[in-house]
Amino acid sequence: MGLFRRSPSSQPAEPPAAQDAADTVDAVTPETGAGTAAEAGAPGRGPYDSSQVPERGPRVDLGAVWLPGVPGMELRMEVDKKTQRITGVACAVAGSGLQVQAFAAPRSDGIWDEIRSEIAASVTKQGGTVDDVPGPFGRELIARIPAQAPDGRTGVRPARFVGVDGPRWFLRGVLTGKAAVDPQEARLLESVFANIVVVRDQSPRPPRDLLTLHLPGKAPAPTPAVPAGTPETPSFDPLTRGPEITEIR
């Protein structure tokens, strides 16, 4: 890893309902390439569970997420300002963005159907519009969210919400910029999302609890297990993001 320095936050890569004050840390690391969909031992298309992939390969180890890298990609780790917990990872390349979050999920039932409904309701409440359509990862949302332009005028910001239910985890992605409106521009980041590997720890977690992320090469101290019977306190907000740590690839 290179040297880190703090500076003001950059423009968000996904459409937020509210944006907290942010710190940014820059670093430079070697470029890596995205993995191929035909992973040995990983049937079909990803995202994959770590049990399906024999080795990390050309992916960045971020804890619960192994993220494929592509040349020129800007990587941002999103941090909760109050707890300093990393809550998500966002990458941007060639005018398109992808924000990813991984959550705990029930062993038997998926949660994407329920979460899609919540995201749609949230966007609609803000005055936006949403279409629930089929996509390369199953059902997805095409959203147009009200946003203020730099010149003060009111416009809309397009976003594609995609989700995949895995074994005891759920992975959500948000495509923004060119990838939200142009299928050809979306292919690169769709490939990145499809080749993510989710590493679900064995700790008992309530549904929607964020899975633990860390900086590249900076594994955190072990997280204490959640005692049996602990009330569920979902830490999921589909449109909110916090401060960021930025790395240029």
140 vs 216, which has greater pLDDT? 140
Containing domain of residue 208, as a range? 23-33+47-217
Helices (H), 168-238: 183-194
- Look at residue 159 and tell me if it is in a domain: yes
**C-alpha span between 42 and 122 (Å, rounded):** 35
pLDDT digits (tens, 9 = 90+) for 101-142: 999 999 888 999 999 999 999 999 999 999 999 999 999 999
**Within a domain: 228:** no
**In the chain, which ranges are continuous DSSP H helix?**
112-125, 183-194
Residue environment code for 121-153, b if the CB has 16+ CB neighbours within 10 A, otherwise e:
ebbeeeebebebeebebeebbbbbbebeeeeee
Asked, for residue 28, whether it belongs to a domain, the answer is: yes
Amino acid 211: pLDDT: 96
Q: What is the percent of the chain with per-residue pLDDT over 70, rounded to a whole number?
A: 69
Residue 143 lies in a domain: yes
pLDDT digits (tens, 9 = 90+) for 48-62: 999 999 899 899 999
Tell me if 209 is assigned to some domain: yes
Asked whether residue 103 is domain-assigned, the answer is: yes
Instruction: Classify residue 70: in a domain, yes or no.
Output: yes
Look at residue 234 and tell me if it is in a domain: no
What's the rounded mean pLDDT across residues 71-95? Answer: 93
Residue 44, pLDDT score: 61
More confident residue, 239 or 119: 119
How many domains is the chain built from?
Answer: 1
Beta-carbon contacts of 236 under 8 Å, excluding residues fewer than 6 positions away, are 103, 115, 208, 210
What is the CATH number for 161? 3.40.1000
